[in-house]
Amino acid sequence: MAEEFDINGSFEVRRMSSGSFAIITLYFLVALILFMVFQFGGNSITVLLCCLFFAGLGVYNAAKKHKNDELFIEIDATGIWVHYDSDYDNYTSKQLNNKNNRILQRVINIEFYKTGESGYFIHQLLFNGSEDKVEDEVIDAIEFYYNHQRNIERLRI
């Protein structure tokens, strides 16, 4: 999998905003209603064309909005950059560890050390389902950039 990562670039995880998701869902809902009208109503070609128009509008907006979605995580050769995650602040550690709530189980724990401080620290990344990448891809990216950085440090010595 390492061949898909660019050592000079970065690996980005974007999160769809709830407003974008609502608009896209609305387009597909209108298309579905129009399709039902076409099927059970009068088989009008105009209704079918309107249905296809709204479905196409939903697909177009989903593709276009993805480029403008907020950046959640950026991983590159210099480190892991986590952009402010307001959803994480709304959950307590008890809720994050609740095994009965399947959505909240999607957490990556990143252990790291700080120069000049003893022990290690843990940062939890909470995935809420609106990300464009899955957890396995994020872990692969972290391993790729971390291993590359370690190889560079080894060569300097």
Residue 19 DSSP SS3: helix
Written as six digits, the tokens of 30 are: 């209108």
Task: Please report the pLDDT score of residue 44 as a whole number.
Answer: 79
How confident is the model over 39-62, as pLDDT tens digits?
887 777 888 888 888 888 888 877
Query: Closest Cα partner for 122 from 105, 140, 106, 110?
Result: 110
- First-to-last alpha carbon distance for the chain, in angstroms, is 28
85-111 burial: b if 16+ Cβ within 10 Å, else e: beeeeebeeeebeeeeeeebeeeeeee
Task: Please report the pLDDT score of residue 135 as a whole number.
Answer: 82
- Those residues of the chain that have pLDDT short of 50 are 1-2, 88-92, 96, 103-104
Residue 111 DSSP SS3: strand
Task: Please report the pLDDT score of residue 156 as a whole number.
Answer: 66
Write down the pTM of the prediction. 0.57
Residue 45 DSSP SS3: helix
Task: Please report the pLDDT score of residue 48 as a whole number.
Answer: 81
- Strand pairing category for 79-82 and 121-126: unpaired
Written as six digits, the tokens of 5 are: 């990562």
Task: Please report the pLDDT score of residue 84 as a whole number.
Answer: 62
Q: How far is residue 11's CA from residue 3's CA, in Å, rounded to a whole number?
A: 13
